[in-house]
A = this chain, B = another copy of it.
């Protein structure tokens, strides 16, 4: 169900975005809302009071389980620290996080169908680390669920790069004219644009660099930028680690072992 005639050109008010308008065509008593809930990067300290409130009233909480190991569900760990989940149905969902779009689309579609069964009974939360509007699985699933006709709402959170910058007490835009770029590291490296990006003005935040973080750091160092660069691993978490200056320049290959959860901030 899609309502382009309704969803275009309308003066929206709070919580009256396109997906909500679609949702208004369903009886509240017959179907719930799909909440894409941001938990922040790590631990209960980053979760918002709004997220706590929404999670408190959702009878079902889905959480992503990544990687092959057990216990790797950062978002759900945040939730459990902040919300009493006893009495709720909490369901881990494994996604392959494959680079193969057809495969991930199939996984997301399958999960959306599963979520729909729960939505017929009530509200559902799908939790995601960081903020759900930025590189999140939650947003991609929410789009499918919205297209299925369910009401969708996003609950904003602290993105990992803000946690990373704050851990370093960094002012990412010291001048009111300074730009901040959030750059997918692997894609930037592969495109050959890294040099141009590093020589552009403003603060550069590299995320999503599981494969090429080492090469990106090498380029930063070779350009003499390590003094204004901070590599933050596991931003905000108990095992957070920050490298800058000479330590960043001298970082060995082992530093890049958990590159997926690393944020590299190259300041102005």
Q: Which residues of A are interface residues toward B (Cβ below 8 A)? A: 7-20, 36, 38, 40, 44-50, 52-53, 82, 99, 131-136, 139-140, 142-143, 146, 152-159, 162-163, 165-174, 176-184, 186-188, 208, 227, 236-238, 240-247, 249-250
Please measure, in the bound complex, the distance between the C-alpha atom of A139 and the C-alpha atom of B174, giving whole angstroms. 8
Known contacts being A9-B245, A133-B170, is A154 close to B143, with CB within 8 Å? no
Partner of A241, one of B12, B136, B240: B12
**Neighbouring B residues of A236 by C-beta, 8 Å:** 156
Distance (whole angstroms) from the CB of A256 to the closest CB of chain B: 15
**Neighbouring B residues of A227 by C-beta, 8 Å:** 8
Q: How many copies does the complex hold?
A: 2
Please measure, in the bound complex, the distance between the C-alpha atom of A250 and the C-alpha atom of B10, giving whole angstroms. 11
Please measure, in the bound complex, the distance between the C-alpha atom of A160 and the C-alpha atom of B163, giving whole angstroms. 15
Partner of A172, one of B82, B134, B167, B183: B134
**Neighbouring B residues of A15 by C-beta, 8 Å:** 167
Contact call B182/A167, Cβ cutoff below 8 A: no
A43 and chain B: residue at smallest CB distance: B50
Please measure, in the bound complex, the distance between the C-alpha atom of A12 and the C-alpha atom of B230, giving whole angstroms. 10
Contact call B157/A14, Cβ cutoff below 8 A: no
Contact call A14/B177, Cβ cutoff below 8 A: no
Partner of A171, one of B139, B180, B247: B139
Distance (whole angstroms) from the CB of A87 to the closest CB of chain B: 21
Nearest 9 CB-CB pairings of A with B: A9-B246, A45-B50, A177-B187, A133-B165, A154-B166, A139-B171, A12-B242, A156-B166, A8-B245
Partner of A11, one of B168, B173, B183, B243: B243
**Neighbouring B residues of A9 by C-beta, 8 Å:** 244-247, 249-250
Contact call A46/B52, Cβ cutoff below 8 A: no
Known contacts being A131-B158, A159-B162, is A169 close to B52, with CB within 8 Å? no
**Neighbouring B residues of A186 by C-beta, 8 Å:** 176-177
**Neighbouring B residues of A169 by C-beta, 8 Å:** 17-20, 36, 139, 142, 146, 152-154
Known contacts being A40-B48, A48-B45, A168-B17, is A163 close to B156, with CB within 8 Å? yes
Contact call A173/B134, Cβ cutoff below 8 A: yes
**Neighbouring B residues of A132 by C-beta, 8 Å:** 166
Distance (whole angstroms) from the CB of A12 to the closest CB of chain B: 4
Contact call A134/B167, Cβ cutoff below 8 A: no
Known contacts being A11-B241, A157-B158, is A184 close to B174, with CB within 8 Å? no
Partner of A162, one of B134, B243, B250: B134
A9 and chain B: residue at smallest CB distance: B246
Please measure, in the bound complex, the distance between the C-alpha atom of A180 and the C-alpha atom of B45, giving whole angstroms. 26
